[in-house]
Amino acid sequence: MNDVCSTNLPLAGRRIVLTRATGQSTAFATTLRELGAEPIVCSAISIAPPDDWGPLDAALQAATPYAWVVFTSVNAVRAVFERLAALRIPAERLTQGRVAAIGKATARVVREAGIALDFVPSSSVAETILAEIGPVAGRTIFLPQADIARPTLAEGLAAQGAIVSAAVAYRTVPDPQAAELAALLQAGNVDAVTFTSSSTVRYTLDALQSTGLDLATANALLSQTAIASIGPITSQTAREYGLEVAIEAREYDMAGLTAGLIEYFQAEPLNKEATDA
C-alpha cells in the first residue's frame, strides 16, 4: 500500500484536479498537498487585460468620488490598483467613500492594500450582497468586474436606486491547459475535479471537447469523479451542463471548498488498487 495512504491525512492518496487559473492555484495546491492529496493543475481559465481600457479609465477618473466601491474578486482589486498606478491616480481618491469586498480573499487583498473596509457580506453571491448592503438609492457605486460577470449585482443595485458605474477590469479567457484533463479522466486517475467559478466549468468542458470528445462522453468521464463546486452559482452552471455536483462548499471560498473535500472523502473509502498502482 502507498505509504502516504497509511497516514491520517484526510485527503491521503486523493488525486484532485484544480481548474482555477494557474497563478491563483498555488495556495490551494499547497493546502491539498499538506492534507495528503496530489493536486493536479489543469487550468481552464486565464486572466487577461480588458480589450479596451477606456471604460475602466473613465470610471477611475470620474470627477466626483464614488459613494461606494464594490470589489467582487481578488482579480478586480489587483486590476484596479494596477490601473490606478498606471494612471498615477492615488488609491485614496477612489476609496474616499465606502468600500465593500466580496469574499474573505478579496477582503484580505483590499486590507493588504491599506484600504479599510465598510462591508463584507455574509456570502459571496449577488443576492446576499443586495440584501445586506443597506440603502443605496441615489448613491454612486463603482463596480469593477470581469467581462463575463453576471449582471445580477449591477442590475439589482440599479433597481434599488443606485447609480451604478460598472466597468470591465479584466477578462476571463480559456486556458488550453485544461485539455490535459481528458487523458487523466480516460486513465481513471482522478478522484475529484474542483470548479471555482462558472467559467471554469464552461471552459473545462470546451477544452475536453477540443480533444475530440463529445459533450456526453466528457460528462460521462467527469461523472466518474467527485465534482466539487465552490458555491451555488458554480453548481448551477455544472448542473446546466449535465454534471452531478457531489461537493458544494458551505462557505463560498477556498477554505470552504477544502472543507467540503475533506468531509466528502472521509466518508468515501479509498480505492486500494488505484493507490497501489
Which tens digits make up the pLDDT trace of 148-177? 998 999 999 999 999 999 999 999 999 999
Rounded Cα distance between 181 and 185, Å, is: 6
Helix/strand/coil percentages in the chain, nearest 5: 45, 20, 35
End-to-end Cα separation, the chain, in angstroms? 9
All three cell numbers of 182, joined, read: 481528458
Distances (CA, A) of 78 to 7, 57, 152, 203, 243: 39, 15, 22, 23, 32
Q: What's the pLDDT at 93?
A: 87
Q: Which has the closest alpha carbon to 24: 103, 95, 90?
A: 103
User: What pLDDT does residue 270 have?
Assistant: 66
Cβ pair 35, 11 in contact under 8 A: yes
pLDDT (0 to 100) of residue 6: 44
Q: What is the pLDDT of residue 124?
A: 85
* Residues sharing a CB contact under 8 Å with residue 93, sequence separation 6 or more, in sequence order: 65
CA distance 181 to 204: 8
**What span, in angstroms and rounded, lies between the C-alpha atoms of 121 and 253?**
13
User: Does residue 238 contact residue 204 with C-beta atoms inside 8 Å?
Assistant: no
pLDDT tens digits for 179-229? 999 999 999 989 999 999 999 999 999 999 999 999 999 999 999 999 999
Which ranges of the chain have pLDDT less than 50? 1-6, 272-277
d(CA 182, CA 197): 20
